[in-house]
Structure 1
Amino acid sequence: MREGGLIFYQKKLTPELKSLKKALKKKPQTYNPLDFTYTEKKIISHIEKETEKNNLNNITRTNAYLQFFHEYPEIEWTFLAHMVSRNAGWNMTDLKGSFLSRLLSLEQQRYFFSFLERSNWLIFQDAYPQLLLYKECKKREENYFHLLSHFGVSYFMDVLWNDYLQNKSNPIITVALIINEQNYIENRVVHHPEYYATLMESIEFKLQELLELNQILFPYYLKDEINVTGLPVHHFASLEERILLGKQLYYLLFDPQYFGKILDFATNQPHTGSRKDFNPQLFNHIIEESAYERFQARLENCQLIAGSKKIYSPRLKDAWQNVQQKPAEKGDWYKDWKVINYLKPVVPKDTTVDIYNEYCEGLKKLELAVLAKNAFNK
């Protein structure tokens, strides 16, 4: 049964969820910053500086997530955030790559980048203070999560982090962070008038969905070669679908079949934003073709046609400059305790689909779209 965009399950709540329901129904406590201790003020200042330092661009964010995971592997969301953020970087540089740069105007490229960058920036500036507060709790052996409200973090996460300190449920805190991040960007980006009208409803965005270009890819080493697993992204405008996808990606990423191999890739392959990072056979971060060359087909069965130039996939630093973001819109997305129904486990999605082949088919469709555009413009 659905109501107000949420799924309300008929099944009874587990004892743990009943406890969370009780806590979420309480009124949030308010704290006067003037009453903060010297140590608390020092912690706040440190976290603000570290968040600003690491929130410069997609590369710094992605690296910060991985570094935190290496330090605190129990916070599994940080590895998921790292891998999804890698994908965001690839999507950003695609806009300046061989195909989309020929299909989208400069203004359209900037719109898409702004959408991706704002989402990436917002999630980090909300999540990273939470992670650093957890780090302080561990280091000082004291609970500092009452400081979450100072950083504008939802009361939902206040309750969930305090629950985590007691119960140490890694799946619960991971899914809670997924729920939080997707609700956090729901009205700030996805349905924000500045983006929704120009992106979500645009022909270009629909074109990307139709061509099946939206996949989250998790590269990993298989023997001496890089393979990929992952899932397709559908119905991005739906909050419910994004949360479900996040949960399925979490289960896939930490599947023993893949986890160690994906972590090995992430640890040993620096994130540059170029798809060359995981497929140097198809992509290069250097433009191999001349600006005067006529665009020609180069892909066949996921491979380059003999003698063809590689697909240009720039590094992020060569594609986009750092953006000075305006402050995040204020307000707590949390309104109803029934959101905890999203914490219930889902059946992991079948991962037997050849996601890389699906991605290659999308690339081929893009190539055909460029060829068709060139023919039309003759």
Structure 2
Amino acid sequence: MPFLLNSFSDIKKDLKNKANKKTSGELPCLSQKDKSRIQVIKEQTRQLNQNNSTRTQAYFDFYHQHPEIHWALLGHMVSRNVGWNMTDLKGELLTKLLPEREQEDFFAFLERGSWLIFQDVFPQFLIYDLSVKVKKEMFYLLRYFGISTFMETMWDYFWNSGDKTSLAIAMVINEQNYLEKRLIQNQHYQKIVTGTVSFKMYDFLNLNNTIFPYAAGNDTEKASLAGAALRYFTSLHERILFGKKLYSLLFQQEKILSGVLKWADEHPHTGSRKDYWPDVFNDVNESFPRSLYKRRVKNCELRKGAERLYSPSLKYAWPNIPQEEAENGDWFEDWRVLDYFQRKDHCDGDIFHHYCKTIEKIELAVMTKEAILLREDEQSL
């Protein structure tokens, strides 16, 4: 770096230089030691990027090693939500709403996004860990993993300033921009997922909830919930603001942060929603096959005599899916992305009633679909 990055004015100068400079794409020669380090980091990342369960645990393990890297815990909790969304596709309710092909397409979309983020972010973590161990910054290695020049600047700034919040926000900005062309604007996924009627149904049924279960100090197995709902999933701007809100919720309310850590430590991620509400969800299917669905949940409590909702573990719901290499290219073009650091995005975390209504909406949608199909069958006789 031409100068130490100790302030936001330094960041601005550095990013302006990078935005105006046309890089040749050529990388300088590395020592044999650095080449070996790169291979080790690539292999560690590959091994941990097998599925949602391995990623989710890797984020949590890294946070325990380096609690100064706030995004690792945020990534862990968001990754839990991705896992729950994946298993919902094979669970009690969505299997009655979505045909099998759409279940597979939605899973492929979630898995690709989850895989992409991990293979971008985890090498950053390992390079930071290496820097700590050798007691000097090693962030010049980031470019050998196709990581944005924006993050090279932000890691250098963090190394010199210790500004945990700015690094976490930078990672939110980076990951959402990284996904934009590779996933959200990808024509294949627009055709089979984001452009479909079923995806619009997701918005209508408010399925884009992100919840943070946390231990609230009582002795019950049922976790308390904090969280927020994302509108306009396909908007890059809205996803960045949403990520900032989730970060604010997790790290600016001590009760939630300590409660989330306690709950996460005591409940390894399986992908089943039974992890946080075993009185409402079960990873064993308790209902009779082919029976018409009847409402089971009211205000997030089971109705009297109702079976729990089936929510399978990830390992029984979906196999590991090999992924193609990530597309090349650096999203960073405009230093004005720094505007996101100036805006405060508060989140009160009140999600309980919204989440309860979401479950009831889905139940109603299932019953409506079954009633329509039954009427069509009767008319065809």
Structure-2 residue corresponding to 1:310: 308
Distance, in Å, in 2 between the alignment partners of 1:57 and 1:197 is 24
Question: One-letter code of the match for 1:243?
Answer: I
Q: Does 1:76 align with 2:70?
A: yes
SS state at 1:377 partner: helix
Out of 205-214 and 182-191, give the one that drifted further: 205-214
Structure-1 residue corresponding to 2:116: 122
The alpha-carbon deviation at position 311 of structure 1 amounts to 0.3
Equivalent position to 1:210, from 175, 183, 204? 204
Structure-1 residue corresponding to 2:346: 348
Structure-2 residue corresponding to 1:9: none
Distance, in Å, in 2 between the alignment partners of 1:58 and 1:256 is 27
Structure-1 residue corresponding to 2:318: 320
Structure-2 residue corresponding to 1:10: none
Question: One-letter code of the match for 1:253?
Answer: L
Q: Does 1:148 align with 2:116?
A: no
Distance, in Å, in 2 between the alignment partners of 1:84 and 1:242 is 13
Q: Deviations over 1:87-114 (max 9, x none)?
A: 0000000001111001001111011111
The alpha-carbon deviation at position 31 of structure 1 amounts to 8.6
SS state at 2:225 partner: strand
Structure-2 residue corresponding to 1:4: none
Conserved? CA contact 2:248–2:345, under 8 Å: no
Question: One-letter code of the match for 2:115?
Answer: W
The alpha-carbon deviation at position 307 of structure 1 amounts to 1.4
Structure-1 residue corresponding to 2:219: 224
Structure-1 residue corresponding to 2:329: 331
Q: Does 1:22 align with 2:13?
A: yes
RMSD: 1.5
Q: Deviations over 1:106-135 (max 9, x none)?
A: 111011111111110000000000000000
Structure-2 residue corresponding to 1:3: none
Q: Deviations over 1:156-184 (max 9, x none)?
A: 00111111111110011100000000000
Which stretches in structure 1 are left out of the alignment for 5+ residues? Answer: 1-14
Equivalent position to 2:358, from 349, 356, 362? 362
Distance, in Å, in 1 between the alignment partners of 2:140 and 2:157 is 13
The alpha-carbon deviation at position 345 of structure 1 amounts to 4.1
Out of 57-66 and 299-308, give the one that drifted further: 299-308
User: TM-score with structure 1 length normalisation?
Assistant: 0.93
Equivalent position to 1:53, from 42, 47, 52? 47
User: TM-score with structure 2 length normalisation?
Assistant: 0.92
Structure-2 residue corresponding to 1:6: none
Count of residues paired in the alignment: 362
Q: Deviations over 1:21-80 (max 9, x none)?
A: 111122477796672112211210110010000000000000000000000000001000
* Cα separation, partners in 2 of 1:262 and 1:59, compared to 1, 3 Å: same
Equivalent position to 1:374, from 362, 370, 377? 370
SS state at 2:323 partner: coil
Q: Deviations over 1:262-294 (max 9, x none)?
A: 111111100000000000011001111122433
Out of 108-117 and 21-30, give the one that drifted further: 21-30
Question: One-letter code of the match for 1:375?
Answer: A
Structure-1 residue corresponding to 2:235: 238
Identity %: 42
Equivalent position to 2:274, from 273, 276, 280? 276
Question: One-letter code of the match for 1:303?
Answer: E
Which stretches in structure 2 are left out of the alignment for 5+ residues? Answer: 1-5, 375-381
* Cα separation, partners in 2 of 1:364 and 1:61, compared to 1, 3 Å: same
Conserved? CA contact 2:292–2:370, under 8 Å: no
Distance, in Å, in 2 between the alignment partners of 1:350 and 1:143 is 37
Distance, in Å, in 1 between the alignment partners of 2:107 and 2:371 is 27
